[in-house]
Structure formats: structure tokens, C-alpha cells
Amino acid sequence: MIELGVCYYPEQWPRELWERDASHMRELGLRVVRIGEFAWSRIEPRSGELCWDWLDDAIDTLHRHGLRVVLGTPTATPPKWLVDAHPSILALDEHGHARGFGSRRHYCFSSPVYREQAARMVTLMAERYGRHDAVCAWQTDNEYGCHSTVLSYSQAARERFRAWLQRRYGTVQALNQAWGTVFWSQEYTDFAQVDPPAATVTEANPSHRLDWRRFASDEVVEFNRMQVDILRRHSPGRDVLHNFMGFFTEFDHHRLARDLDVATWDSYPLGATQNFFLDPDEKRRHAFTGHPDIPAFHHDLYRGMCGGRWWVMEQQPGPVNWAQWNPAPHPGMVRVWTWQALAHGAEIVSYFRWRQAPYAQEQMHAGLQRPDGSDDLGAVEAAQVARELDGLREPLRAARTRRRAEVALVFDYPSLWMADIQPQGRDYLALEACFRAYSAARQLGLDVDVLPPQAALDGYALVLLPAQLRGDPGLATALRGSSAQILLGPRAGSKTEELHIPTGLAPGVFSELAGVQVQRVSSLPPGVDLSLRLGEQGPGLRASRWCEQLALRGARAQARFAQGAGGESAQDPDQGGAALTRHANCWYLAAWLDQAGWVSLIEHVAQAAGLAPLRLPEGLRISRVGELVLVLNFSDSPVRWEPPQGEATRLMGALELPPRGVSAWKLLPAASAH
């Protein structure tokens, strides 16, 4: 299915409105409605007192109007009576303070009482609605980890962490070894002595912190699996999914997604543009459109999780309330974002939310409708896409199964945790490195699959590993067997699984492949930049934040630092000063590049891979799905896009795209072959 949907909260509106809402959703072309994910206090207002009539009625109303329902399990919001009856379900912060009641996500993943209560509620819901004709899917909980809620320092977590360590290490000696506890007399003689890494005088042992994060990630996975198992038992044939977040890496999404049918995520391009690492100029330039590659990066990340099945569960419909600044999107953006998701293979794009709430925390968050029930711009644009989709659904569906990117980007959650635990320089941001490399490929018109480190890499022309700190031997073997051009970013392989420096130094397991050894690293304070040149005549690039001094062990330098921290030994052309090296098909980058640098570098390496990168005009993005090409103009100026050699049939839009315009093309066989 390829459809549009919406998130709806019938419990927040008088019953008299439901019928009209459902009928108007249909009229706008929406087909899927997510409900229920925060409704525990209405389903069970007091312990054991179950009120299903309203939810029966809401589901039946939607069903009567031909809308399919995604039911959310309400476990992100345990109600007051439950918290009061069982205070142990609350998560504790690192100072041991309980999370307060009155917002959401206040529970502790490790609490046995909460697991039992959540299982009880999920079972009740699944028994009641699991076979309802209207119910097409289940969403487990809501945005695991949102508002920094993965970690809890509760007694239950402490005990489960000890058991987890015991399973991982077997003996306490092995744990001591793995953590290097001889340092500063941290040695343990019993697993029962180990606490979560909290309230230490200075930084706690990094391997201890890494295991704590791994443990916490596993707790989320286990909590989710408990729900999935219940849902599968009582609701056969329905998809089970979860809505992940953007730029959120506090648990391993690849692992959790193994238990799901569909990976979904919540796309808020303007909020993300303001709240994450973009520089002030980028935040200004993209204030009303969002950075074009933020949604796409996540579309491609989540597409890599459940065999290619993914949705946007929540799509920004207008201004949000939670970012540092909340501009209203320019007219046309809700349509562009929706088409962008469809172009990257989304099955469903569902808007958050149907109607703006006039009260409570999110009263400043737009919906498709204003609080008075009138349609806001988002509704008008959603309806436009629904009409356009009617003409494009079939070609899109047919093409989707043949989507194949030429570039793979390896994304590894534990590597991000390692960088976070030991950044070594305040602005070494592994997630940003991944995004910059991705964005560069997109600016060059290349389609990218974002993949877990275990994924098969055959068939790609170019494999990017911008922040693969963790030396993964399996990945190293796969890379050695690959004929793609491989680009390793700085710090690749610089840590073992235990977060040690590898024997033989970085890049550890990738040393043979890269033909270099990292002998020294420098992080660079703001304003300390290095310049480097790509080839004799190539562009001059700027390195900042991070650089490394390499010894060449078979690789040849492709770029050298002109001066400064990386280049002291540049007198010896074979030893040192290299900023970029090549060893057969493996490239190693020894510095942090800015966005322009990434574009030049990926262009260079993509050419070596036999690809034909294009320099797209600012704000233009193209996405290929089989023989379809979708062209999106994120900018405020008209842009022209010519299909390659003119060999394409126009399906929508025009050659000249207006600001925030979209066009769709079907390539003729000759053009789609290359």
C-alpha cells in the first residue's frame, strides 16, 4: 500500500466531532489513522476499571468511513493511579531522583512491575482489537527514548545490569580485563559490586559507560519484544511497528527493528534543522524549508531496517512547539516533504496531528486543522498530494521494488556511543560526520542506502564509513571482499569492542585494507583550520575539528595537509602529512571536513567508482526509484532539471520547477540503465 494517513486523538475531542472528522479525513484523501498511543487513563481510569466503549466507538467510526486504523499501545504514559500504586515503575535520574508525573515517558524500562503492567495492558488491547477488521497495524509504545529516557538508574536497572554483565563476561576477571579496571584501582571481585556509572568524581570508566549504554539499549529492545510477542499472538496478520525519532541514537535501532515488520519514524524537518548541529548560516537558510537532507537521511536509514518496509508515522504539518525556534513552513513544504518520503519508498506518510489541541503541552503545535476545526495549509497540501498520488501510485509501486542505490553508508550505533563517551574534542560529532557525508552524496545526485554494519555490501559502487570507530572484524572481512570504492573516515577502527585502542593502533581491523597506521591525533579548537589539496590541480579543502598523522603502510597520499598539526613531518613524502590516502580501492580520510569538503571528496571518490556525480543547484534534490525520478526543489528560486539525455516521460510537474516544486519522470530504458 502507498497511502497518506494522520494521527488522531478521539479522546481529546467531543464524540459529536468524530463522525465529521472521519468523513473529512476521507474527503482529503487520508486512508490510515493512528490512535490510542497515549490513552491509558481513558481506557483504564482506575485500576482494573476498563472503559472500552469510547475506543470501540472511535474505531468503528473510522472503519465506517473506510479508514484503516493503526492502534498504539499506550505504554508511554502510565496513568497517575498506576504510578501512585507502584512508585517503583518510575525511572530514576543519575542522582537517584524519580522522574515526576505530569508529562510522559516517566517509566523505567527495567522495572519488573512496569513490564508486567505494560504486558497486561497490551494483552487487553490486543485481545479486544487484535482481529478487528479496521486494525491494520500496531504501534508499540511511542518514540522509545524521547526526552532522554533510555537510561534509568533504578534498583531494578542496577540488578539487571549486573546480570547482563555476568552473561556477557562470565567471570569478573574477564570484566576487569575488558574495562581495564587496574587503572585507578577500579578492580572488582564480584559482579554484585558493580554499579551503574553515575555520580563519579570525574569521568567514569569509558568501557563501563559503553556497557551501560549497551545494556540500556538491550532493555529497550527487550521491552519492545515483550509487546511484539503479545501483539503477534493476539493479532495475526497485522503489521507491528514502532515510531523512531530523527537524529536519535541512544539505543540500537537496527537491533530493535529486527522484531518489527515496519520501521517508522517521525519527521519534523524544521524542528530538527533548529535543534541539531547545523551551523547558524544553515539554520537561517533552511529555516522555512528544513535542510533537504535531514528527512532523506532518515528515510534511507529506516529503509535499511525491516527489509525495506518503512513509513513516516508523524509528518510535520505546520509549525511545531518543541524546537528552540519554531518557524512556520513555507507554503508547499508539506507537499514537498510528503513527496520526498514517497520518493524514498515510504508505504505510508501520516501527518501529526489531525487537529491542533487548544490546551496542554502541545497547544502551539500545528495540526492539519486549526483548533477551531478549519483546515490549515497542511490539510490543503496533504489533499493535493492525495490527488497526485492517485495518478502516480501504480508507477511508484512498480518501481519501488527495484530501488537500488549506488552508494552505501554504514551507520553503526555503538560507534556513535564510543565517540560520545570519548569525543576527545568537543565538536567531534560522529552523527554529524555521517550526515555530512550523506548530504554530500545527495548534493551530487547520488542515491544512498544507509545500512547496518552487518549488511551485505555487494552491488554498491561506493561504500562510505564516515564514523566507524568500532573495529568490527566481520565488517572488515566484508570490506576486504568488496570491489566498491571504500571511504573510511577519521577514527575508523580506532576502538575495539571494549573501547580500547587496538593492538597495532588505528585503524585496527581496517589496517590491512587501508594501508595506513594512525600515529597521532589532534582535535582542533574553533578557528584552528588546516588546508589540504585534493590532487595536484584539485580543489583546496579545509579541515577543522580533527586531524590525524598517518604513517603510510602501502597506501599513497592523495591529499596532504598544507601546514599545521597534521603536517609536521611532511618533509618525508611517504611518512606523514597525508590527509587522504588510497590503497587499492580503499580511501582513508585523516581529517574532519566541512560540507564543501565532503562534496569535493565524495565527487572525487565517486568518479573513481565509475559513477557520474552531478553538482545539483542549491536546494534541488533528485531521488531515483527504479526507472522513476522525483525531482524536488527545496529552494526559494525556480530551478530547471533536465532528464538525462532528455530520455524521460513526464508524469508530474515541469522541467522548470517553481520554488518548492515537485516533478516526476519515468526514464526510458536507455536512460535508466546507467
Catalytic residues: 143, 314
Half-sphere exposure of 9 (CA within 13 A, CB side): 19
3-state helix, strand, coil in the chain (%, to 5): 35, 20, 45
Burial class of residue 616 (count of CB atoms within 10 Å of its CB; 0-12, 13-18, 19+): middle
Q: How far is the CB of 378 from ligand GAL (least distance, A)?
A: 13
Report the SS3 class of residue 300.
helix
Q: In this structure, how many other beta carbons lie within 10 angstroms of the beta carbon of residue 650?
A: 12
Q: Which span sits near ligand GAL by CB under 6 A: 108-116, 314-322, 379-387, 583-591?
A: 314-322
CA gyration radius for the chain? 26
Q: Which is nearer to ligand GAL, 146 or 408 (CB)?
A: 146
Which one of the spans 107-115, 139-147, 218-226, 578-586 is the region binding ligand GAL (CB under 6 A)? 139-147
Q: Whole-number minimum distance, CB 365 to ligand GAL, in Å?
A: 5
Report d(CA 658, CA 378) in Å as an integer. Answer: 19
Q: Which is nearer to ligand GAL, 161 or 352 (CB)?
A: 352
Amino acid type, 118: A
Out of 143, 218, 239, 472, which residue is the one contacting ligand GAL (CB under 6 A)?
143
Nearest to ligand GAL of 51, 323 (CB atom): 323
Q: Which stretch binds ligand GAL (CB under 6 A): 142-150, 538-546, 550-558, 590-598?
A: 142-150
Cell of residue 212, nine digits? 551501560
Q: Work out how close the CB of 30 gets to ligand GAL at its nearest, in angstroms, rounded to a whole number.
A: 18
Residue 82 or 312 having the CB closest to ligand GAL: 312
Query: By CB under 6 A, which span of 138-146, 368-376, 547-555, 609-617 interacts with ligand GAL?
Result: 138-146
Complex with ligand GAL: residue 334 or 487, whichever CB lies closer: 334
Q: What is the C-alpha to C-alpha distance for residues 128 and 512, in angstroms, rounded to an integer?
A: 58
- Binding residues among 157-176 for ligand GAL as defined by CB under 6 A: none
Number of residues interacting with ligand GAL: please give it, by CB under 6 A.
11
CB atoms closer than 10 angstroms to residue 458: 11
With the C-alpha atoms ordered 166, 172, 174, 176, is the resulting torsion angle positive or negative? positive
Q: What is the dihedral of CA 146, 231, 355, 4, to 10 degrees?
A: 100
| Distance of closest approach, residue 320 Cβ to ligand GAL, in angstroms | 5
Instruction: Report the Cα–Cα distance between both ends of the chain, in Å, rounded.
Output: 29
* Smallest separation (angstroms) from ligand GAL to the CB of 575: 51
What distance in Å separates the CA atoms of residue 211 and residue 162, rounded to the nearest whole number? 11
Cα 639 from Cα 648, distance rounded (Å): 18
**How many Å apart are CA 352 and CA 659, to the nearest integer?**
24
Measured in degrees and rounded to the nearest 5, phi and psi for residue 16 equal: -60, -25
Q: Which stretch binds ligand GAL (CB under 6 A): 23-31, 113-121, 141-149, 437-445?
A: 141-149
Total Cβ atoms within 10 A of residue 176: 16
Closest residue to ligand GAL using C-beta atoms: 143
Q: How far apart are CA 56 and CA 605, in angstroms?
A: 57
Any contact of residue 302 with ligand GAL (CB under 6 A)? Answer: no
Residues 347-376 binding ligand GAL (CB under 6 A) are 352, 362, 365
Question: Using the rule CB under 6 A, is 146 a contact of ligand GAL?
Answer: yes
Q: Residue 202 phi/psi, 5° resolution?
A: -120, -165
Comparing C-alpha atoms, which of 165, 442, 85, 419 is closest to residue 292? Answer: 442
Mask for 251-290, x = binds ligand GAL (CB under 6 A): ---------------x-x----------------------
Q: Which of 61, 142, 207, 600 binds ligand GAL (CB under 6 A)?
A: 142
Cell 490512535 belongs to residue: 35
**One residue of 33, 135, 320, 377 binding ligand GAL per CB under 6 A:** 320
The answer to whether residue 666 forms part of the interface with ligand GAL (CB under 6 A) is: no
Q: Which lies closer to ligand GAL via its Cβ, residue 105 or residue 303?
A: 105
The three-state secondary structure class of 499 is coil
Pick the closer one to ligand GAL by CB: 362 or 594. Answer: 362
Torsion on CA atoms 277, 278, 279, 283, rounded to nearest 10: -130
Give min distance, CB of 514 to ligand GAL, in A. 40
CB nearer to ligand GAL: give 356 or 581: 356
Q: How far is the CB of 632 from ligand GAL (least distance, A)?
A: 22
Query: Can you point out the beta strands (E) in 323-405?
Result: 348-351
What are the CB-based long-range contacts (under 8 Å, 24+) for 577-580? Answer: 577/549, 578/516, 578/550, 578/552, 579/530, 579/532, 579/543, 579/547, 580/532, 580/534
Q: Which is nearer to ligand GAL, 197 or 318 (CB)?
A: 318
Residue 208, exposed/middle/buried by CB under 10 A (0-12, 13-18, 19+)?
Answer: buried
Which range, of 49-57, 140-148, 304-312, 573-581, touches ligand GAL by CB under 6 A?
Answer: 140-148
Residue of the chain from 21, 218, 239, 314 that contacts ligand GAL (CB under 6 A): 314
Binding of residue 412 to ligand GAL (CB under 6 A): no
Report the residue number, 361 or 563, with the smaller CB distance to ligand GAL: 361
| Cell 467531543 -> residue | 14
CB 338 to ligand GAL: min, Å: 16
Report the nearest approach of ligand GAL to the CB of residue 266 (Å): 5
Facing residues of 516 across strands? 552
Residue with cell 501520516: 350
Cell numbers for 194, please give them: 558493580
Q: Is 234 in the site for ligand GAL (CB under 6 A)?
A: no
Minimum separation from the CB atom of position 377 to ligand GAL (A):
17
* Identity of the residue, 143 or 219, whose beta carbon is nearer to ligand GAL in the bound complex: 143
Minimum CB separation from ligand GAL for residue 135, in Å? 20
Report which of 598, 600, 584, 603 is spatially closest to residue 490, judged by C-alpha positions. Answer: 598
Distance in angstroms (rounded) separating the CA atoms of residues 31 and 50: 29
- Does residue 449 interact with ligand GAL by CB under 6 A? no
Task: State the residues that interact with ligand GAL by CB under 6 A.
Answer: 142-143, 146, 266, 268, 314, 320, 322, 352, 362, 365
